[in-house]
Structure 1
Amino acid sequence: MARATSADGTWLASGGDDTTVRLWDRATQTCSATLTGHYCPVTSVAIAPDGTCSPVAASMEPDACGTGRRAPARAS
């Protein structure tokens, strides 16, 4: 599982084998958003230091799941 914590420590992002990136509220320990659209397991996540522009980035092994496809993440 890939994880990254926001600079202020109030939320984190996780990614994993289920091909999603989830945003978590650390105070309530609940998932606040699920980003879908990846075709392969998410191998890393990053959060911008200021959190104001593109707060989450995710990556995956190139063609690790054999599809040869990539899609932009979208919130659901």
Structure 2
Amino acid sequence: MKLLKITMNSNLGKYLIIIGACIILAGIIIYFFHDKLQWIGKLPGDIRIEKENFRFYFPLTTMLLASLLVSLLIRLLKHF
């Protein structure tokens, strides 16, 4: 049985720090501005079906917007 060998380099550490900073930043934004972020998930194009005993919610536009923002952030980070 071979053990999985994980090699760590400086890039992995840098990426972990960046991911941690992004999570902390998102937490701060949500904590202080939660009342102003009510529109997230209620954009035009988000699919919502509510019936008597059934709810279906698919935030299509919200996911597209989040994907665009994350893609721009990653592209910006790779540039520097």
TM-score bracket for the superposition, by shorter chain length: under 0.3
Structure showing the higher strand proportion among its residues: 1
Structure showing the higher helix proportion among its residues: 2
Structure number with larger C-alpha Rg: 2
